[in-house]
Structure 1
Amino acid sequence: MAIVKMSSFSLFTFDSDRDRLLHELQKFGSVHFTDLKADETLSEEGLETLEVPADLVVIDEEIQSVKYALDLLKQYDQRESGIKAMIKGKDSFTFQELEDKVAEFDYDPIISKFRALTGKIDHLSQEEMKLKALTEELRPWKKLDYEVKSLRDFTFSEVFTGTVPKKLMEKLKSDLEPLKETHFEVLSEGKDEAYILGITSSTEREEFNEILRNNSYTSLSIPTEGTPTSEMEKIRVELSRMKSEKAEVKSEIKSMANHLPQFEEVYEYLLNKKLRFAAESNFLKTENVNVISGYVPTEKAVQFRKAVEGAQDNAFYLEIEDAVDTDKEVPILLKNGSFSETFESLTTMYALPTYNSVDPTPYLAPFYFAFFGMMVADLAYGIILLAITGVALKFFNLDKGTKLFVKFLFYLSFSVIAWGLIYGSFFGDLITLPSLIAPMEQYTELLVISIIFGGIHLFYALAIKAYLSFREGKPLDALFDVGFWYMALMGAIGFLAAGFVPVPDVVQPISMWVMIIGMVGIVLTGGRENKSVGGKLAGGFYSLYGISGYIGDFVSYSRLMALGLSGGFIAVAMNMIMNMLFDMGPIGILPGIIIFVFGQLFNLFLSALSAYVHTSRLTYVEFFGKFYEGGGKAFKLFRNKSKYINVE
């Protein structure tokens, strides 16, 4: 499989048909619009850009209103969650079914009611805050048994209420001792201040006031007419009433939580509707005609034409032709088989290929499959991974992206199982199994195997580069950029190996001459793009210097051995800890089981994560670095990416 074949289209349609056309094209979905504003030649011919429609502002406001309702109802969502929700999955609709469902739901009155109810809750919350603040103001005075208003009616006396720093209390009491017609009382104490009540006669008023001022007195008004205690009780009753009222309002909102799925559908529909309006910014127009261009998959070109024809009442002009291979603006869609498709995320994470390039996904997939398993390499871990992903694929209704990732792990579990059998590993050494390689004893042989796998991986990448050169009609480039490197590298490997491995005497000299021919070829052709002879030779020697990079590449594949060993050692360590606890007798059995289960599961997680990261690194740096450049633009479906439902 490969990059999806694309067709470009140019469409002239009357402005009056634009809304219906976009509606039909969105139902079709597989259309990618070209931004015509970037084409200066069209602007020079008098074509104008379409103004941002006023409806776009209106629909943005509508989306915010629906999102407000969603956020509110999510607090009362009583639908199944967790495993049950994953089994059920998202509801799926065609675009027409979604439109029909949204048309039947009159959601504006419900949103208005929500705003009224939440407004009431906000008002009650503000009143609660005020009353609680008032309670805190009254709390220091609750020992005052008199009605506050009565303290204000004295004719021959004056009442003082306020605070004095606690550190000055002794001084204040001492200063007040000479006063005979003054009553002073501490009602409560805070962290740093004391709340006081003072009553003095008119004759001692000035003196009492002066003493208070000298002791940093701050006057405070008691915010009630009655006693502080009775006022606090009234507030408590009122807060209780407000709490009940808020609960009733929230209960009323909760009773409408059954509308949440409908609001999710409306939200998805409105986002798609907004996308229709936003697409208009890509078009140009004359007074009455819109000019539209873009791309559709060639296999869907007939369906695209029917969608256009079905949306037109008036005349229109539509031209569809195969996209030009060298056009870098052609958007990219990848299409692979069931196995390779699960590895597409690795390609898109790095970079999409250009239209005239090659999709590397089917080429990287078998190596990624093998390398991942070699790094995890445990039969039990593979069985666990297979069981979890198999159950998820069988019983869970997963969305496309999640399903692809689960399938990705499902396929990789077979590689883990295979390598676990090769290594004879089952939770490390928990069960003794026959093995083809004992990694803890034969680590040298395992390192050699890892390097050999690396060589195959690198030479395969170079072979793809040669294939691309042949496909572009440049066979000499294949010889210069791949053939000579094959000779140099394989000759060097043969020459060095002959010094360690028993081989016929003729192998070493032949390998040496093959290596020399390859190196000379690299020097003579590596700088062929330069104009001067000196520049060509300098470029050639620089290209030959790249052989040092290949040495680093080969060493990188030692991680295939290292990660497999590290995971195995950790698994064995968990078994040792478990056995040590078991040796303690009954008291150690439960802790031993817990450590074994959680330790092995954690090791599985770490091993899988490390294998994912390091196999990706081998793919991106060592493999892609030899032939793949990327640079393609993703095909943008004329559909919004769904969050709550699946729109087909």
Structure 2
Amino acid sequence: MAVTKMKKLTVIAPKNHQASLLKTIQGLQQLQIRDVFVQNVSNQWVKTYFKEVQPVDYQNEIANNQQMVSKINEAIQFILHYGNLKQPKNVLKRQNLSLAELEGLHEHFDLEAELANIQQLQEKWQSIEQNLRKLNEKEQDLFAWQKLDIIPNQFASKQVRLQLATVASENWLAFEQASQQLPELYLELIYDDTKEAHFAMVYLESLAEQVKHFASQFSAVEVHLAIEQTPSQAIKQIDQQVKALVQQQKELALEIGQKRQLIAQLQLSEEYLLAKIERYQALSQFVQTEHLFVLQGWVGQTDCQELTQALQNSVPYEEVYLSFEEPTAAEIQEEVPTKLNNHPIVRPFEMLIEMYSLPKYDEIDPTPWMFPFFLVFFGMMVADIGYGVLMLVATTVALHTQVFKKGTERFLRFFQVVSIPTILWGFIYNSCFGESLPYKPLLSTQEDVIQILLLTVSFGFIQIMVGLALAGYQNVKRNDYLGAITNGFAWQAILVGLAIYAAGTFLNLGTLVGQLGIVIALIGVASIIFIPTFTNKSKVLGFVGGLYQLYGISSYIGDLVSYTRLMALGISGGAIAAAFNLIVGFMPPVFRFTIGLVLLVALHALNIFLSLLGAYVHGARLQYVEFFGKFYEGGGKVFQPLKSAEKHVNIRWKKQNNGGNES
């Protein structure tokens, strides 16, 4: 398994087949469209043969479809938020569809008419809410005056004026006392809410200016009530209007709730429009003339036959020209994307590579090399039969009963795979939910700590050796044979020699074994020091550089120590689970089988989460730092085929029974 070899596909066909071929390409999800208008060496043919052709601008079409998508989302949110909840909701359940099936489901649905209908409902709802808001504001304004038993607008007198006003509550007493200096002024407090005092003033018309000046001294504010009845009567009328509007709103909510049945269809239409937007964006990246179009893209070598068959089934065989080319050296450096090709069991672990960095097109795919080590490490860090079985059952049931997004499905398959080593290491340690089964463990986390420690270091030693071997292989592929020795094979010799020397010394295998180890290690040391010395123009600088590179032996010691976390996490997880069992075991029987069971489930759930999180994070760290650091560069470009957004459904290519294909 490795990085997929890519081919550059060129498609030339009549313009009338453009839409059909593009849909087929999108349904297959195997071709990354090249932008042939980018200025580079590979696109010189465009200037040569299509000098006058410019990329077609589809921004208006894209904007129109994006606007429709926004309307769909707004409509769905409006229906879910304001529709009567008693009405059944028909939200789209994720499923696998072909692009042709998706388009068929969309075409029988009058999207614009339904959106217009929902828009009308939304406008009615907003109108009712606006009227309710105005009535509530009006009622709040009248609330303080409801004890006023006259109609302010109907108070008519040529000599006497009625004025309503408010003043800050803390100024009311002073205002009332000061008003006694005007014997012709009558004050009546209507309502005081501790912030504002609402009052009425009755005074002679001849004192209007004097009263106005007096009121301004206390910052009194005049109030006008635009009503034709008493405030209490107006409030009752408002209440009746509010009740009527609320009833209308309830009836409208029922009507909106009936639209909950359309949510699934709206989501399908949104998926269709998102796919259409992707096609419009692709259309501006290839040559289009009045009569034909020329499209180029990158496709995996293993997919060439299926893509060819699908395209030739979409249009008459003699009307489409297909050409596959090997990428040039310049294209490999500049634009060829990386597509990983691994066994289905290994494939979920590609997400760890993507989180770090994809390999370059001409680089080794580290996924299959990392895979067995990650399995061992993850299982060793969780190491519980019960936890592993729970993972296996939960992920298997979920994957067989539900359709998930591709990313979520890959994540579940990842934990489905790592559940197996978790169970196996649980048997090795004899741990099941923190308890021991009635057999003797192969390795006891209490009695065999030293053996487990040595085992973790041994696993680390093996992985580092594999990493150095891959580093050597990478350099050999580049014809850098001396680099293969200094960066890979020489370090292997040093580490193997030291391991042989340590085994000979501590296991009493004889001085000859120890001496053999020293000789092998010295050969590696000599290679690291003297190869740079003889290949460098400056022998002194080369020698110093070799010595400095040799100083890196200290980092290998740190790397080996890092692998001891495998033991620490495995032992600690089992100890925590056993402690939880012990805590519940101390409870009286009455509580042990009631609250204790609930507590035990909660505590083990917490321990499972922490154990899986720790194993995932630390397992990935060992790959990224201790393993990848020996040979891996990364920096590859992500393979981005023309596909649908797959927001609500998964698009799958389906073959028809008659031998043809549909997208």
Contact in 2 for aligned 1:430/1:572 (Cα 8 Å): no
Deviations 1:464-485, CA, capped at 9 Å, x for gaps:
2333444555555433332211
2:57 aligned residue (39, 52, 59): 52
1:91 aligned residue (69, 89, 95): 95
Q: Deviation of residue 94 (structure 1)?
A: 1.6
Query: Alpha carbons of 1:89 and 1:58: their partners in 2 closer, same or farther (altered >3 Å)?
Result: closer
Q: Deviation of residue 409 (structure 1)?
A: 1.1
Cross-structure match for 1:404: 410
2:540 aligned residue (517, 526, 534): 534
Cross-structure match for 2:656: none
Where does structure 1 lack aligned partners over 5 or more consecutive residues?
A: none
Q: Deviation of residue 610 (structure 1)?
A: 0.7
Cross-structure match for 1:389: 395
1:463 aligned residue (466, 469, 481): 469
TM-score w.r.t. structure 1 length?
0.91
1:167 aligned residue (163, 166, 170): 170
Q: Structure 1 stretch 6-15 or stretch 194-203: which is displaced more?
A: 6-15
1:645 aligns with 2:645: no
Q: Which amino acid aligns with 2:116?
A: S
Query: Alpha carbons of 1:139 and 1:74: their partners in 2 closer, same or farther (altered >3 Å)?
Result: closer
Contact in 1 for aligned 2:165/2:222 (Cα 8 Å): yes
Cross-structure match for 2:219: 216
Q: Deviation of residue 55 (structure 1)?
A: 2.8
Residues 201-212 of structure 1 aligned to structure 2 (within 5 Å): 201-202=204-205, 205-212=208-215
Q: Deviation of residue 279 (structure 1)?
A: 0.7
Cross-structure match for 1:279: 282
Contact in 2 for aligned 1:134/1:223 (Cα 8 Å): no
Q: Which amino acid aligns with 2:95?
A: D
Query: Alpha carbons of 1:192 and 1:256: their partners in 2 closer, same or farther (altered >3 Å)?
Result: closer
Q: Which amino acid aligns with 1:166?
A: S
Contact in 2 for aligned 1:426/1:433 (Cα 8 Å): no
Alignment length (residue pairs): 640
Cross-structure match for 1:439: 445
Percent identity between the two aligned chains: 30
2:112 aligned residue (108, 115, 131): 108
Contact in 2 for aligned 1:369/1:412 (Cα 8 Å): yes
RMSD: 2.8
Cross-structure match for 1:225: 228
Query: Alpha carbons of 1:89 and 1:69: their partners in 2 closer, same or farther (altered >3 Å)?
Result: closer
Cross-structure match for 2:655: none
Deviations 1:451-504, CA, capped at 9 Å, x for gaps:
111111111222223334445555554333322111111222333455544331
1:570 aligned residue (568, 571, 576): 576
> In 1, distance between residues paired with 2:403 and 2:516?
60
Residues 481-496 of structure 1 aligned to structure 2 (within 5 Å): 481-496=487-502
Query: Alpha carbons of 1:220 and 1:550: their partners in 2 closer, same or farther (altered >3 Å)?
Result: same
- 1:8 aligned counterpart, secondary structure: strand
Cross-structure match for 1:250: 253
Q: Deviation of residue 363 (structure 1)?
A: 1.5
> In 2, distance between residues paired with 1:513 and 1:594?
62
Where does structure 2 lack aligned partners over 5 or more consecutive residues?
A: 653-663
Cross-structure match for 2:658: none
- 1:161 aligned counterpart, secondary structure: strand
> In 2, distance between residues paired with 1:550 and 1:38?
45
Deviations 1:246-267, CA, capped at 9 Å, x for gaps:
2222322221222222221111
Contact in 1 for aligned 2:469/2:489 (Cα 8 Å): no
Query: Alpha carbons of 1:67 and 1:611: their partners in 2 closer, same or farther (altered >3 Å)?
Result: same
> In 1, distance between residues paired with 2:603 and 2:461?
35
Residues 558-597 of structure 1 aligned to structure 2 (within 5 Å): 558-582=564-588, 586-587=590-591, 590-597=594-601
Deviations 1:110-158, CA, capped at 9 Å, x for gaps:
111111111111122112111111111111111112222233x133211
Q: Deviation of residue 449 (structure 1)?
A: 1.6
Query: Alpha carbons of 1:553 and 1:89: their partners in 2 closer, same or farther (altered >3 Å)?
Result: farther
> In 2, distance between residues paired with 1:219 and 1:494?
100
Deviations 1:159-217, CA, capped at 9 Å, x for gaps:
12111222222222222234444321211112422111121234555554443332221
- 2:594 aligned counterpart, secondary structure: helix
> In 1, distance between residues paired with 2:364 and 2:164?
87
- 2:635 aligned counterpart, secondary structure: coil
Cross-structure match for 1:600: 604
Cross-structure match for 1:183: 186
- 1:127 aligned counterpart, secondary structure: helix
Q: Deviation of residue 102 (structure 1)?
A: 1.6
2:626 aligned residue (613, 619, 622): 622
- 2:473 aligned counterpart, secondary structure: helix
Q: Which amino acid aligns with 1:230?
A: Q
TM-score w.r.t. structure 2 length?
0.89
Q: Which amino acid aligns with 1:4?
A: T
Q: Which amino acid aligns with 2:605?
A: L
Q: Deviation of residue 26 (structure 1)?
A: 2.7
Cross-structure match for 1:35: 35
Q: Structure 1 stretch 608-617 or stretch 308-317: which is displaced more?
A: 308-317
Q: Deviation of residue 64 (structure 1)?
A: 2.8
Cross-structure match for 1:413: 419
Cross-structure match for 1:269: 272
Cross-structure match for 1:143: 147
> In 2, distance between residues paired with 1:204 and 1:316?
98
Query: Alpha carbons of 1:421 and 1:39: their partners in 2 closer, same or farther (altered >3 Å)?
Result: same
Contact in 2 for aligned 1:426/1:432 (Cα 8 Å): no
Deviations 1:384-405, CA, capped at 9 Å, x for gaps:
2222223223333334432322
1:343 aligns with 2:346: no
> In 2, distance between residues paired with 1:527 and 1:56?
61
Q: Deviation of residue 420 (structure 1)?
A: 1.6
Query: Alpha carbons of 1:300 and 1:579: their partners in 2 closer, same or farther (altered >3 Å)?
Result: closer
Q: Which amino acid aligns with 1:532?
A: S
> In 1, distance between residues paired with 2:414 and 2:38?
39
Q: Deviation of residue 534 (structure 1)?
A: 3.1
- 2:542 aligned counterpart, secondary structure: helix
Cross-structure match for 2:298: 295
